[in-house]
C-alpha cells in the first residue's frame, strides 16, 4: 500500500514539475522577447534616422553586414512587426506595447486599398486583425473589411482562386500555397460585415487548392499556374523550393496553418482531414531532423550543408496548437508543438544582439540567393503566436482569444 502511495506521489510531483517547467518556458521566452523587442524599437529608430526614405517603416531581416533591413508597408512582411507588438501587449498587458502596437499598425493602413497583392492577409490580418481582436476598436474593423474588398478583386470565378502574383515570368495566373494564409482576412471580414461574399470566396479558394495543390503523399506543390480562360491547371512548379516535385518546408507549414484555420471557420471536416494529412507528412517525413526544425526544403540533397528554415518550424508549432484543439490526435499535436517551441529556444539570438530579432536561422528564398540563414520577422511573429497559444491552453482558455 505504502509503495502504491509513494508511486502516486512521485507521478503527481513529476507531472506538477513538468507543468511548472512548461509554464516558465513561456514566461522566460516572453521576458526574452520583451527585452529583444525593446532593443529592436531602438534599432528601428536608428535605422530610420539614417535614411531619407520615409516610407521605410518596419523591420524585416538583417542584411549580409548585419544591418537592419527596413521595409515599406507594401512589402508582404509589413504586418508582422505590428503583430508581434500586439502579442507582447496581449501577454504583458503593458501599456508601452499597446502604444507601440497602435503606432506601427497605423503605418500599414494605406495597404487596405492595394489590389496588386494577394498578401493583404499577412499585411492587414497580422496587424489590424490582432488590433481589432484585442481592442474591438471599430476603426480597425473598417480597415479589415476594406482590405478584404481589395483582396477579392483578385479572385477569378472560372478558376475558383485568388491570383498570387502579377507580371511574373513563371505563369499568367499563379496561385501559391502561401495564399491559404490570406483567407483568414476574408473569413474575418464576413464575420465583421455580415457580407458572405468574402466567406464564399475563401471556401472556393480552399477547395480549388485542395483539389490541385497536393500530391498523393499530402505534400504540396508551391505554385499552380492556371489558365484564366478555361480554369485548367497549366503546370505545377516551385518558385522558392528546391525542385518542382520537392516539398518546400515553409510551404508545407502554410498549408497546415491554412487548412487548420479553414476548419476553425467552417467546421467542414474535409479541411480538418487535410490539416491532419499535412501534419502527418511533415512529422513523419524521414528528412525531418530530430529536433523538428526542418531544413529549408524536405527533399534537398546534402542536408548537412543546407540551411534550416526556423520560420517553418514556428508556423508549424502555432498551427499544431490550434489543430490540437480540434483533432482526435490532439494530445500528440500539442505535445509536438511543445517540443518545437522548446527546441526553438536553441535557435534564439543572444540577448542584446541581432538588432533585437528573436530567432536566427530562417531561410527566405534560397533559389533567389535571398535571406539565407538569417533572422526574419515572420519567424518571430509565429514564435510569439505559438507561445501565446501555449500559454492559453495551459490556462484552459480557448487557443485564440476572440
Site for ligand GLY in 164-203 (CB under 6 A): 178
Interior angle at CA 361, CA 359 and CA 362, nearest 5: 90
Site for ligand GLY in 228-257 (CB under 6 A): 240, 250
Q: Does 380 qualify as catalytic in the annotation?
A: no
Site string for ligand GLY, 120-159 (x = CB under 6 A): ----------------------------------------
Catalytic residue among 63, 94, 166, 178: 178
SS3 per-residue string spanning 241-303: CCCCCCCEHHHHHHHHHHHHHHHHHHCCHHHHHHHHHHHHHHHHCCCCCCCCCCECECCCCCH
> Is the CB of residue 244 less than 8 Å from the CB of residue 252?
no
Residue 364 C-beta: closest distance to ligand GLY, Å: 6
**Closest to ligand GLY by CB, 240 or 336:** 240
Query: Which of 90, 84, 40 has the alpha carbon at shortest distance from 378?
Result: 84
Residue 309 C-beta: closest distance to ligand GLY, Å: 9
Residue 250 C-beta: closest distance to ligand GLY, Å: 5
Which residues contact residue 166 at a Cβ distance below 8 angstroms, ignoring those fewer than 6 apart? 116
Residue 164 C-beta: closest distance to ligand GLY, Å: 8
Tell me the three state secondary structure of residue 160: coil
**Closest to ligand GLY by CB, 272 or 379:** 379
DSSP β-ladder status, 68-71 and 233-237: unpaired
Residue 266 C-beta: closest distance to ligand GLY, Å: 24
> Is the CB of residue 392 less than 8 Å from the CB of residue 340?
no
CA distance 1 to 336: 36
Site for ligand GLY in 351-370 (CB under 6 A): none
> Is the CB of residue 104 less than 8 Å from the CB of residue 83?
no
Site for ligand GLY in 249-308 (CB under 6 A): 250
Interface with ligand GLY: number of residues (CB under 6 A): 3
Specify the DSSP element, H or E, that contains 162: strand 161-162
Q: Positive or negative CA dihedral for 291, 372, 261, 22? A: positive
Catalytic residue among 25, 75, 119, 297: 119
Residue 332 C-beta: closest distance to ligand GLY, Å: 26
Tell the burial category of 72 from Cβ atoms under 10 Å away from its Cβ (0-12, 13-18, 19+): middle
DSSP 349: P
Residue nearest to ligand GLY (CB): 178
**Closest to ligand GLY by CB, 181 or 337:** 181
Place of cell 546534402: 302
Positions touching ligand GLY (CB under 6 A) are 178, 240, 250
Question: What amino acid positions are annotated as catalytic residues?
Answer: 119, 178
Amino acid at each position: 500500500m505504502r509503495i502504491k502511495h509513494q508511486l502516486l506521489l512521485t507521478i503527481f510531483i513529476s507531472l506538477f514539475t513538468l507543468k511548472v517547467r512548461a509554464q516558465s518556458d513561456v514566461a522566460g521566452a516572453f521576458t526574452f522577447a520583451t527585452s529583444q523587442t525593446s532593443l529592436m524599437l531602438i534599432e528601428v529608430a536608428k535605422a530610420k534616422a539614417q535614411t531619407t526614405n520615409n516610407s521605410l517603416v518596419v523591420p524585416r531581416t538583417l542584411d549580409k553586414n548585419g544591418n537592419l533591413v527596413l521595409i515599406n508597408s507594401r512589402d508582404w512582411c509589413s504586418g508582422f512587426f505590428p503583430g508581434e507588438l500586439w502579442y507582447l501587449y496581449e501577454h504583458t498587458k503593458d501599456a508601452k506595447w499597446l502604444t507601440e502596437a497602435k503606432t506601427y499598425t497605423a503605418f500599414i493602413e494605406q495597404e487596405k486599398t492595394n489590389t496588386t497583392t494577394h498578401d493583404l492577409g499577412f499585411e492587414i490580418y497580422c496587424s489590424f486583425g490582432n488590433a481589432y481582436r484585442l481592442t474591438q476598436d471599430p476603426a480597425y474593423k473598417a480597415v479589415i473589411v476594406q482590405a478584404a474588398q481589395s483582396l477579392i478583386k483578385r479572385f477569378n470565378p472560372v478558376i475558383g482562386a485568388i491570383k498570387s502574383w502579377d507580371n511574373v515570368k513563371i505563369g499568367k495566373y499563379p496561385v501559391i500555397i502561401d495564399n491559404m494564409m490570406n483567407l483568414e482576412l476574408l473569413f474575418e471580414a464576413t464575420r465583421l460585415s455580415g457580407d458572405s461574399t468574402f466567406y464564399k470566396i475563401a471556401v472556393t479558394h480552399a477547395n480549388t487548392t485542395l483539389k490541385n495543390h497536393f500530391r498523393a503523399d499530402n505534400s504540396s506543390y508551391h505554385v499552380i499556374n492556371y489558365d484564366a480562360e478555361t480554369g485548367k491547371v497549366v503546370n505545377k512548379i516551385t518558385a522558392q523550393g528546391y525542385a518542382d516535385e520537392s516539398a518546400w518546408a515553409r510551404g508545407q507549414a502554410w498549408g497546415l496553418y491554412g487548412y487548420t484555420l479553414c476548419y476553425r471557420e467552417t467546421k467542414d471536416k474535409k479541411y480538418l482531414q487535410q490539416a491532419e494529412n499535412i501534419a502527418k507528412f511533415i512529422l513523419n517525413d524521414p528528412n525531418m531532423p530530430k529536433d523538428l526544425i526542418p531544413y529549408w526544403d524536405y527533399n534537398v540533397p546534402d542536408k548537412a550543408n543546407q540551411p534550416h528554415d526556423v520560420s517553418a518550424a514556428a508556423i508549424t508549432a502555432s498551427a499544431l496548437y490550434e489543430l490540437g484543439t480540434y483533432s482526435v490526435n490532439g494530445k500528440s499535436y500539442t505535445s509536438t508543438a511543445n517540443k518545437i517551441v522548446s527546441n526553438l529556444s536553441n535557435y534564439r539570438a543572444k540577448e542584446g544582439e541581432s538588432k533585437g530579432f528573436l530567432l536566427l536561422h530562417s531561410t527566405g528564398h534560397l533559389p533567389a540567393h535571398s535571406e539565407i540563414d538569417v533572422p526574419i520577422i515572420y519567424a518571430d511573429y509565429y514564435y510569439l503566436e505559438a507561445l501565446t497559444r501555449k500559454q492559453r491552453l495551459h490556462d484552459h482558455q480557448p487557443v485564440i482569444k476572440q
